[in-house]
Structure formats: structure tokens, C-alpha cells
Amino acid sequence: MMTRFRCWLLVISCILAGCLVGAAGAASLGTDWKERASEEGPFLGVMITPDASLVYAGGNEIYVRSWDREIHWGSRPARVAVLSYDGKRIILGVGNKLSVLDNKGVENWSRTMDGYVRAVAMSPNGSFIISADDKGNYISWGKDGEFIVRLQNQTANTIAYAPTGNLVVVATDYGLRFYNRKLELVWYDNRTESRDQFIAISGDGSTVITAGGNEVASYTRDGTLNWRREITKDPIIDMRCSFDCSAIILAGQDKNVVAVDRYGNVRWKYDVGQWVQAVGVSRDASVIAAGGIDRTVYVFDRSGNLITKKKTDAIIQPRSIAVSSDGRRIVVADQVNLYGFSMIGDPVAPDIPETYTLPPLNPVETTHILTTATTPPVTTPEPDLTSRTTGTGPAATYAPVSPLLLIPALGAAAFLCRRLR
């Protein structure tokens, strides 16, 4: 009887050990390449094409490379830049000069603004470019540099162009501005002051997410406010969203990575212990990367489970993490290097259901240039980003383990049972 009891105890122990080993070893980060910053200063700000075919790093001297380093160039200053979705064009703002380069660094054309270039944006196919200077001038250009239209408004801090649809969103110190492609004003914010620094527009152009200070807000494409909430206690340093804006990921001085759903509800937090300075998100938010002052890259699944982490040589720079669309490649800039990391193994993430955009939950009166008809609210419940309650630090929920991982554990258990008989 005692022998049989010990046998079953060993079986259970081996199975549990196999599960734990399998869960812990599901994925890790491998370093594909590492580039040291120039003596002029560290990299600041990174971008990556959805397929990770091209990487851009900004700073005192920019650096551009393909993942295999077949393309690599840089050594010119640029504080304002945007990379096209296909990686074929790069827009740079240096002083009052706007330049358009191909992915090998060859200048296609350049134009001069009245003041210093503050912000730039580009349509996904590169056929439309808008630039803004510190004197409040907004100018739109065609693919080959032909002048389209010009206007003057509040000085732009950030500009975003919708992936689809005819929408340009501008963040100023005195509120948001929504324009169409002809720079005709669709809607403007009626606030006298605004802290918005970050803009994300959903893939279908229906939802606009903004963040700044400790607030995050959601708007429809016509400017109707869905919600605005204070999500953090301290200032937000970086924000990224999934392609449909159903997952909003924040980093900041709260020392937490924070996930917010499309309704403004905080779904989970992860306490890093020091400022989190940068986040990156895959297309469906199944892979989320974050890092900051503690020199560690943290990789989470959509539910906030920690998949893996990896140390860097120095403090990770603000807004300097980017993730490929499929989550397999991650680019990080610290105060010394630019890193190209690849996921080794498959991160175990929950299935992502089909997402959708609801009409405003609580429409708030705003100043409109155009009026649109309202649609009755949809009562379909929002799918959870996570099954756990909100808290700080890693939670006590785990991704499922593949049944194949149990085979060696069962084999070992059977062998020990035979030995005990």
C-alpha cells in the first residue's frame, strides 16, 4: 500500500515539474544584432515596418538598417521623422527643411518651411505628406513633393494620419484638431489647454486614442468624445495601441505597465519598480514589450502574463521600443546600443476574438464643424483582455501548457514506479 502511494506521489510530482519547466521555457529573447550608438549621442526613438524589414533609430545621428543588414546607413541628424508602412520612404525634418528619402538614404526631394519642422505624418502608401512648423504652418505635399494646400493654426506637437479613411489628427497645446486630406477642419477641441502628446488611430479609422499627462481619451472620427479618464497618477511617458485600438498600453512614471481596454477600463497592471519609459505592441497585442530605467525588456502576452525578460546594457530610452506586427521581432534602444531581438519559441497567448468598435458609450458635448447622425448603442459585451482582476505585479494566472510537455514527465514517473516495485 505504501509503495503504491509513493508511486502515485512521484507521478504527480513529475507531472507538475514537467508543467512548470514547460511554462517557464515557453519563450525567450535572442539577440540577432546589436549596434552601438555614435559618439554624438544615444539613439532616441525607434520605428519598425510591420514585417520588420526595415528599422529606423533617431537621435543626434539617425541609423537605418534592414534586419539582415543588407541596408544600413545614417550619420545625419533628425529629431522629427516618420517611416512609411512599406519601408520604402523616410520623411525627415531637420531645422526648417523637410526631406523625403528612399530606404537606402537617397534624397528624392526636399522643401523648406517658414519655421522649424515640429511634426510630420504620411499616408500608408506615401502618396500624401503633411508637415507642421513652429510658426503654426501646416502644409500638405504630394508623393513627388508637389504642393497641395497650406493653412495656419495652433502649433502642432504631434500629427497622425489614419491607416484608412480621410482623417488627419493634430495635437496642439490648445486641444486637438481633426482635418480631412484637404486640411479642411472637421472638428476642433473646445478646451483652452491640452496635454495630449500621443495619438493612435484604429486601422479602420473609426477610433482615435490620445494620451498626455495622466489622461487617456477616446474619440470617434468626427470628434465625438467616447470617454476621457485619468488612468495614472504620474505622467505617461509612452503609449502604444493594437491595430484596432482595443488594447491601449501605457508606460510612465507610475512605474507600471498599464493595459486599458477600448472603454477606458484598466484591465491589468505590472509593477516594474522604476519608471517605464517605452512600450511596443504587436498588431493584435498578443506580444507587448516594455522597458525603462531598470535596464530590462519585459515581454507580456495580452492578458499581462510575463512571457520573458532580458537585460540591456544601459537605461532604455524614452519611446524607444518597437514590435513587429506578428510580435516575433523587437527593437530596443538604450543609452548605448540599438538591439534587434527575436522571440525564441512560441509565446503562449490567449486566443484573440474578433474585435469591433461600438458607438460612443457616453457622448460628451464638443465643438463640431460637421454634424453626424448618432447610432443606438450596441449591447454586445466587450471581450475581456484578461481573466484576472486588476492589480500590480505578476498575477497568479498562467498560460496553458501544451499536452506534449507532459509526455516526458509521465515517462519518467512510470520508470520510477517500476524501480520502486
pLDDT at 11: 45
pLDDT at 169: 97
pLDDT at 4: 54
- DSSP, res 14: H
The three grid cell numbers given for residue 328, joined into one nine-digit string: 516575433
Alpha carbons within 13 A on the beta-carbon side of 62: 27
Q: Are 43 and 23 in contact (CB under 8 A)?
A: no
The residue among 290, 352, 287 whose CA lies nearest residue 326 is 287
Tell me which amino acid residue 129 is: I
Q: At what angle do helices 2-24 and 406-420 cross, to 10 degrees?
A: 160
pLDDT digits (tens, 9 = 90+) for 116-171: 999 999 998 888 999 999 999 999 999 999 999 999 999 999 999 999 879 999 99
Domain extent listing, the chain? 1-26+401-421, 28-400
- The pTM score is 0.80
> Fold for domain 28-400?
Methylamine Dehydrogenase; Chain H (2.130.10)
pLDDT at 3: 52
pLDDT digits (tens, 9 = 90+) for 64-109: 999 999 999 998 888 899 999 999 999 999 999 999 999 999 999 9
Q: What percent of the chain has pLDDT over 70?
A: 76
Q: Are 173 and 193 in contact (CB under 8 A)?
A: yes
* pLDDT tier, 10 (very low <50, low <70, confident <90, very high otherwise): very low
Rounded CA separation 152/63 (Å): 33
pLDDT beyond 60 at 25: no
The residue among 121, 64, 65, 53 whose CA lies nearest residue 93 is 121
pLDDT beyond 50 at 349: no
